[in-house]
Chains A and B, each alone.
Chain A
């Protein structure tokens, strides 16, 4: 089985989960404030670069080149990492990746590891797997710590604990920190600075004694074997520097051809992600360095459904994702439902296209419908992934696989947002914020493809022009103007 771990088993399908989430006013208020803030910052710093579009084109092209020659670049990466003193492991699926990491940790004789926030290790459920083997994994990113202490799930790519407010975090720290290590100080207030200080103290003792660290990777350069981690807090630097053994689990799509390709991504990623010109810390390492940092470095290359995604000539573009989360922050559906409703490690628009591809459309059939197709995500995406195009493509696949019942599912998922005029207004506003305009009369007629049954009975306000046009063109080109 491929794509293991990506979806949270037992999660309700999106329409059901979304309807529950919509009842949670606190969650919606948190999300709205967060996404609006990040969105505004992103627009401000992206507009500082008048060649933003050229950077996006270049990034998309580098990713296209890499994907089309992925075998070659992975072999090159393997060689350059090995020459630099690292060891490369290949994992066909989650189970194998977990096994490799567990064995590597066991070989050190250690029973605990410190971790840098990493979607790949969340995807494979590494922490749970290590726990079964008697190894404790400590998350060191503040948000991941909050999620871990709360026995919770992350709900946003960039700010995983966005669904929690300061009071909840204070209560959590007070109640739980003691059972994981240094307890929270007495009389802890809910001031963010006080909470951050409590986390600093709690985690520092772990950093200073940890012998093994586990990380993900934002990029890895085939040419040089250089691995890159981008972060803000310094917990990444701690994990990459102080332990003796470093184990990095990296999706095979994270490779880029050359060192100089990073000049494109290091400009796009922070601006798209946190809305900063540059994130506080970026660390790069090439194998091991005598007398500085870990003396053993292991790189685990993870497939886990990525090659299935690669095989789909429309869907493969989703592998270009650099996990900036810009698409989440502009998505009217995400803003309403939060990340948990997606039932996957990968929430929001990118989750809606990546999850069904990694696990198979049958397993996440409602996700391609968890969208208004307003196109804001495509506009925001620094690597120009045409998410609406992939969504409609996957919708067709779901319909093919499931017949009419899928259409009912479609109505339900899209309906969560579209049914209410107020919510649709939000969708349109987000689309306009994304820099696009509505179709001239603000209305579209019959929808093509799988949604036509739905639009037959309604006059559908146009979600957005460009994504719709792309969608229309594609459907017409396929001769499906039903």
Chain B
């Protein structure tokens, strides 16, 4: 008997108390938890910005017209000059001046040599202050936002879900997903929080309140 058969047989024997006619749906799962913990009257985008900032990530809010300046300001503050740019990123948003933009494809050693990466996102989650990447247009492969030490992420206000349940409903599990809530962190040494062990040590988020969609599909 293969181990597959052995394990399945053991499971079936172990569940002798479960009536043969019982279907999974016969075991009730109550679903009366909230779909969202955003309080009535609370602004989702404001909450998102606050919660992301709680992780000591830097958050800027702007509109389409102010986006390029906001990107320039963030990069200047971080002294990041060499940045990875994923395929599908609307390059017309990028500031000109002292920056070098390195378009995909980039191999891992090349990524390791850069200061940071700039990307769009697939979704945001307000209550938990999370951005979600699904490797879609403008987000790059998983390595792109992982290997460089700095990640600047641009989130369209429209993409921000209230809470975890609506965010998961928007996402496609068939794609590789990365949920990012603040920069890499550890508390393994005497529970002192240290930012940045292996992932990016610095995370900046720019929330665009209007019009990014047009730029993205243009």
Contacts and interface: CB of A to CB of B under 8 A. Distances in A.
Interface of A: 30, 33-34, 37-38, 48-51, 54-55, 57-58, 61-62, 64-65, 68-75, 84, 90-92, 96, 140-143, 146, 159-162, 165-166, 169, 192-193, 195-196, 199-200, 203-204, 207-208, 221, 224, 226, 232-235, 237-238, 240-242, 252, 257, 259-260, 262-264, 266-267, 274, 276-286, 289, 291-293, 301, 303, 307-308, 310-311, 313, 316
29 contacts: A49-B34, A58-B29, A58-B31, A90-B2, A92-B6, A96-B3, A140-B198, A141-B188, A161-B188, A192-B190, A203-B198, A208-B108, A233-B184, A233-B199, A234-B146, A234-B197, A238-B146, A252-B11, A262-B168, A266-B168, A266-B179, A278-B128, A280-B180, A282-B178, A283-B178, A286-B174, A303-B10, A310-B15, A311-B15
B109 interface: yes
Contacts of A241: 141-143, 146
B92 interface: no
Interface of B: 2-4, 6-8, 10-18, 22-24, 27-34, 37, 51, 54-55, 108-109, 112, 125, 127-130, 135, 141-143, 146-147, 164-165, 168-169, 173-192, 194, 196-200
A263 B168 contact: yes
A242 B198 contact: no
Contacts of B189: 142, 161, 166, 169, 192, 195-196
Nearest to A36: B191
Contacts of A55: 33
A307 B7 contact: yes
A233 B3 contact: no
B119 to A, nearest CB: 14
A398 B95 CA distance: 71
A277 B197 contact: no
A278 B181 CA distance: 6
A266 B171 CA distance: 14
Nearest to B167: A263
B33 A54 contact: yes
Given A277-B51, A281-B199, A65 B181 contact: no
B191 A37 contact: yes
Nearest to B143: A241
B179 A282 contact: yes
B168 A34 contact: no
Nearest to A302: B7
B14 A279 contact: no
Contacts of B181: 276-281
B146 to A, nearest CB: 5
B162 to A, nearest CB: 12
A294 to B, nearest CB: 10
A284 B127 contact: no
Given A161-B188, A235-B197, A264 B177 contact: no
A91 B188 contact: no
Contact of B37 (A48, A73, A199, A276): A48
A284 B176 contact: yes
A244 B28 CA distance: 41
A250 to B, nearest CB: 13
Contacts of B28: 61
A192 B194 contact: yes
Contacts of A161: 188-189
Contacts of A37: 191
Contacts of A96: 3
A68 B18 contact: yes
A281 B128 contact: no
B34 to A, nearest CB: 5
B10 A281 contact: no
B179 A281 contact: yes
A313 B184 contact: no
Given A195-B189, A278-B130, A57 B176 contact: no
Contact of B190 (A50, A74, A166, A279): A166
A278 B164 CA distance: 10
A280 B182 contact: yes
Contacts of B191: 33-34, 37-38, 159, 162
Nearest to B8: A71
B173 A226 contact: yes
Nearest to B12: A71
Contacts of B24: 65, 68-69, 72-73, 257
Contact of B29 (A62, A224, A293): A62
Contacts of B12: 71
A165 B190 contact: yes
